[in-house]
Structure 1
Amino acid sequence: MPPTVNVKSVTSNVGWSVLSKTSTFGLKFVTVPILARILTPEEFGAVAVALTVVQFLAMIGGAGLTSALVIQREEDMETVHSVFWANLAISCLMALGLFIGADFFAALLGAPEAAYLLKVMSFLIPLQLGGDVAYSLLARRMNFSKDAVWSMISESLGAVVAVVLAIFGWGVWALMAQLFASALVRLCGLYAVSHYLPRFVFNPGRVLGLGRFSLGMMGSEVANFITFQSPMVIISRYLGLADAGAYSAANRFASIPNQVVLSAVMGVLFPAFSGMMHDKERRSQALMFSTQVTTVLLAPMMFGIWALAEPAMRVLFGQQWAYAWPVLGLLALSKGILTPCSTFIPYLKGVGHGRALFWSAIIRAIATCVAVAYGAASGSLINAMIWLCIVNAVTLVGYSWAVFRADGTPFLKGLYISSRPMLAALVMALVVRFLLDTWGGMIPNEVLQILVGAAVGGMIYCLLVILLERDLLRKIYTLIKNRRKNSAVDSSE
């Protein structure tokens, strides 16, 4: 049986996951700008385009089987071993297919010069899929602390390797080494902490038994992947590798807050919501609370990047990237618009609303592709990003309707409560942007502009949250108070 899911277990595991992401945040905050100063936009673009294919094939190779392991009532080792060998066989076939078809895939993406990178990166697929079973065992046991440690180690080591090699003139191979170092260290770490040792046991019936759930998950994951990665492919084909590199560098930086908060929270919420599947009231409360908390944390970061994009791009990335500051700002804005949707995917996965998840993902993927392609067809990367913001605003409404309908929550009420922190962050960002545009010239140093803007924005946002989110703050205070009380009781016993 999976462990009992309660507030203490969820908050503890979220804490560990956020800690792992936060610990690598500082390093990435430094390494991404360093790499951007050393490498060219074309080099960033070549690796980013090639990685898109690798990630897509790795996702299909997993076929959702390991996600099915998480929600199984019993930890049946025959099923676990069978999934491991199925994943390994599929990943090796995917890697072989990519190696042989590298020229075709590179030409399809509009980057034939990246074919040699695809051949090398095909070996990443078994490395990435090889650890999925071990991670699923940790996830179903709600033991994210061990995963957190190895995430910190692998990401940190990969970032250090990339910077060192870039400094010594390895160029694009510095980014390649980062990917392989992180994947290999994480693979070894997951097996060490999960204590999982594969055995030569394979039962096709057990794998097929997970097929219905895994195929549904694969369909929605494919659609989500297209949503997130299609802009890179479209930009590469329409606008070239230089613009693809500018998009990649800006997207890497704008995605850091999501990597710190959202990726950590989503990994924990999936098994947590799964444990609440048959308790409607409890899961509805958990959905709204987790959505509000993640929006309160993420929205000011994303809208803050939008407000400070112009000085931030020059300070962090250097003058050669200064032209791309609107891209950074619009990417952050597009991600900020979707912060109220941050818990929707793990919720729909965890409570078994696969159909709503699938169709929401499909519609969003189609809308994103069409919008970005329309903007890029005009010959402008900025236009493509503007249309991405527009489609994300529509997605916010549509996704909220689908989730709150599945949950039984009144749509307008749910949309208002979940989006209120995002709207407060938008107001804060508009004020900061206005102040910088009007009086920013009085602060000639761009570093000081960023610091002053962040300080003013932080004060404005804190004031708005106190005025608008008092009920949420009381819930958080009560949760912390009860947690300390329970910890004190446990210690005394």
Structure 2
Amino acid sequence: MAPTQGVKTITTNVGWSVLSKTATFGLKFVTVPILARLLTPEDFGTVAVALTVVQFLAMIGGAGLTSALIVDRDSGMDTVHTVFWANLAMSLIMSVILFLGANGIGSWMGAAQSADLLRIMAFLIPLQLTADVAYSLLAREMNFSKDAILSTVSETTAALVALALAFMGFGIWALVVQLFSSAVIRLVGLYSITRYVPRFVIKPDRMGPLVRYSSGLMGSEIANFVTFQAPMVVIARMLTLADAGAYSAANRFASIPNQVVLSAVMGVLFPAFSLMGDDRKRRTDALMLSTQVMTVVLAPAMFGLWAVAEPAMLVLFGPQWAYAWPVLGLLALSKAIVTPCSTFIPYLKGTGQSRVLFWSAVLRAIATTLAIMLGATYGSLVDAMVALCVVNAITLVGYSWAVFRVDGIPFFWGLMTSSRSMLTSLVMGVGVRLTLSTFEAQLTSPYLQLLVGAVVGGVLYGAMFLVTERALVKKIIGMVKRRRGGSVADAPPA
């Protein structure tokens, strides 16, 4: 039986993961705007479309087997070797499909000129899927400190290489080399850290339990992929490649807070929830606490970006991207609306609620795709982003109802508790926008607008947070004290 993970173990791993993402946050905060100034919207759009295809084929090829390995800690190395060869075989098949079908796929995606790029990026798929097997070994042991260091090194090195190539005039290839550099460093690093050496062992009978688990997740994984990638495909097909580039650049920047916090925390919460088994009280406490903390951290960042989107776009991306500031603002707003849902996917995955995860993901994917299509058909890129905000508001209510129903949490209490900081952040964002509008004549510089917006937003949110989240602060302080004192809660139960 796997050891029970206490609060101390989970928070330590979350800390390492967040530290890793924070270390790359500053670099991405700088590199994305610099690359946007050196490259064109069409460059961003072309790479974004190609990467969408690669990620989809990699997801299909992996079939969720490595996620199943993380949950099934009792499986031996023969099972790990079998998954490695299965992933490698499927990744090669997907690469061949992409290489041979590049012309047709590029045209269907609305980027016919991306065919050569798709052929090159087909080689990313084996790099990603074979690395995932080694990562699963780290995740099974909740050993995220080593992965945190490796992620920092790979992302930082790849970003610096991309900047150098962009300055040297390599254009779109700077983004391509960035992707390959990161993938290669991650692959080599994971196998060095885990010291995993694949052996030619293939035992199909060991795959049965993994396939049963992964098959329950694959539908939801595909649906989630459609939710997050459908806007790019629809925009490229129904609008222009420049619009797709504007969406890609704005989305890259607006997603930085999520990348820093969510990608770190979700990677830890998934195996953590899976270890809690049938201990409903621990699961409920962990779900509500993690949801509240994520909302407290992410909501003010996203609503703040929405409030200062116009000066931020001009300062960070330059005059050639200034027209796209509504896209940046609306993307930030759409992400802010669903911040209370940030822990729902790892919770449902970790607790084996594949049916709820599947239908929630499918309904969200359908709604998102239809909304973006309608917005693009009868309006512009901005109208499509407005439609995305509306869908996310509906998603917040529907997703919360589904998850709270599974865990037995009263819906209205759970929704208000998890969304309280989001509503506080919304009030803060509105206050910042009203301030900038009121003093528009005095704040003529976009730099000054950003400074004033940050100060006003910080003061407003800080004051409201102290009033509305006193119980959460007390809980966190209590956890810190217990951790320092070596609380019994961190020890496995008798």
Q: TM-score range by the shorter chain?
A: over 0.9
Contact 1:239/1:379, CA 8 A, preserved across alignment: no
Amino acid corresponding to residue 406 of structure 2 in structure 1: A
Note the C-alpha offset of 1:464. Answer: 1.0
Task: Look up the match of 1:426.
Answer: 426
Unmatched 5+ residue regions in structure 1?
none
Amino acid corresponding to residue 390 of structure 1 in structure 2: V
Note the C-alpha offset of 1:133. Answer: 1.0
Note the C-alpha offset of 1:75. Answer: 4.1
Task: Look up the match of 1:346.
Answer: 346
Note the C-alpha offset of 1:349. Answer: 0.4
Amino acid corresponding to residue 224 of structure 1 in structure 2: N
TM (norm. structure 1) is 0.98
Amino acid corresponding to residue 372 of structure 2 in structure 1: V
Amino acid corresponding to residue 156 of structure 1 in structure 2: T
Contact 1:2/1:140, CA 8 A, preserved across alignment: no
Further displaced range: 239-248 or 186-195: 186-195
Note the C-alpha offset of 1:19. Answer: 0.6
Task: Look up the match of 1:95.
Answer: 95
Q: How many residues align?
A: 488
Q: Deviations over 1:179-218 (max 9, x none)?
A: 0000000111111112211111110111233111111111
Further displaced range: 318-327 or 438-447: 438-447
> What are the equivalent positions in structure 2 for 1:212-223 lying under 5 Å apart?
212-223=212-223
Q: Deviations over 1:214-241 (max 9, x none)?
A: 1111111100000000000000001110
Task: Look up the match of 1:64.
Answer: 64
Task: Look up the match of 2:42.
Answer: 42
Note the C-alpha offset of 1:73. Answer: 3.8
Task: Look up the match of 2:171.
Answer: 171
Q: Deviations over 1:48-85 (max 9, x none)?
A: 00100000001111101011111114141111111111
Task: Look up the match of 1:204.
Answer: 204
> What are the equivalent positions in structure 2 for 1:390-429 lying under 5 Å apart?
390-429=390-429
Task: Look up the match of 1:105.
Answer: 105
Kindly, what percent of the aligned residue pairs are identical? Answer: 66
Secondary structure (helix, strand or coil) at the match of 2:479 reads helix
Contact 1:277/1:352, CA 8 A, preserved across alignment: no
Amino acid corresponding to residue 444 of structure 1 in structure 2: T
> What are the equivalent positions in structure 2 for 1:152-167 lying under 5 Å apart?
152-167=152-167
Q: Hey, what's the Cα distance between the residues in 2 that align with 1:47 and 1:441?
A: 40
Secondary structure (helix, strand or coil) at the match of 2:202 reads coil
Task: Look up the match of 2:438.
Answer: 438
Contact 2:436/2:443, CA 8 A, preserved across alignment: no
Q: Deviations over 1:81-114 (max 9, x none)?
A: 1111100100011011100000111011111011
The alignment status of 1:150 with 2:150, answered yes or no, reads yes
Secondary structure (helix, strand or coil) at the match of 2:4 reads coil
The alignment status of 1:461 with 2:461, answered yes or no, reads yes
Q: Hey, what's the Cα distance between the residues in 2 that align with 1:346 and 1:476?
A: 21
Q: Hey, what's the Cα distance between the residues in 2 that align with 1:463 and 1:411?
A: 28
Task: Look up the match of 1:356.
Answer: 356
Contact 2:371/2:388, CA 8 A, preserved across alignment: yes
Secondary structure (helix, strand or coil) at the match of 1:486 reads coil
Task: Look up the match of 2:126.
Answer: 126
Q: Hey, what's the Cα distance between the residues in 2 that align with 1:27 and 1:73?
A: 35
Note the C-alpha offset of 1:301. Answer: 0.5
Q: Hey, what's the Cα distance between the residues in 2 that align with 1:447 and 1:485?
A: 46
TM (norm. structure 2) is 0.98
Note the C-alpha offset of 1:451. Answer: 1.7
Q: Deviations over 1:286-318 (max 9, x none)?
A: 100000000000000110100010000000000
Unmatched 5+ residue regions in structure 2?
none
Task: Look up the match of 2:449.
Answer: 449
Secondary structure (helix, strand or coil) at the match of 2:74 reads coil
Q: Hey, what's the Cα distance between the residues in 1 that align with 2:341 and 2:463?
A: 24
Contact 1:220/1:362, CA 8 A, preserved across alignment: yes
Q: Hey, what's the Cα distance between the residues in 2 that align with 1:209 and 1:397?
A: 34
Q: Hey, what's the Cα distance between the residues in 2 that align with 1:151 and 1:443?
A: 40
Q: Hey, what's the Cα distance between the residues in 2 that align with 1:194 and 1:422?
A: 40
Task: Look up the match of 1:136.
Answer: 136
Q: Hey, what's the Cα distance between the residues in 2 that align with 1:141 and 1:448?
A: 48
Q: Hey, what's the Cα distance between the residues in 1 that align with 2:441 and 2:78?
A: 67
Task: Look up the match of 2:268.
Answer: 268
Task: Look up the match of 2:307.
Answer: 307
Q: Deviations over 1:353-376 (max 9, x none)?
A: 110000000000000000000001
Secondary structure (helix, strand or coil) at the match of 2:440 reads helix
Note the C-alpha offset of 1:416. Answer: 0.7
Q: Hey, what's the Cα distance between the residues in 1 that align with 2:237 and 2:393?
A: 25
> What are the equivalent positions in structure 2 for 1:216-255 lying under 5 Å apart?
216-255=216-255
Q: Hey, what's the Cα distance between the residues in 1 that align with 2:313 and 2:97?
A: 39
Q: Hey, what's the Cα distance between the residues in 1 that align with 2:266 and 2:451?
A: 30
Q: Deviations over 1:104-143 (max 9, x none)?
A: 1101111101111100000000011111111111111000
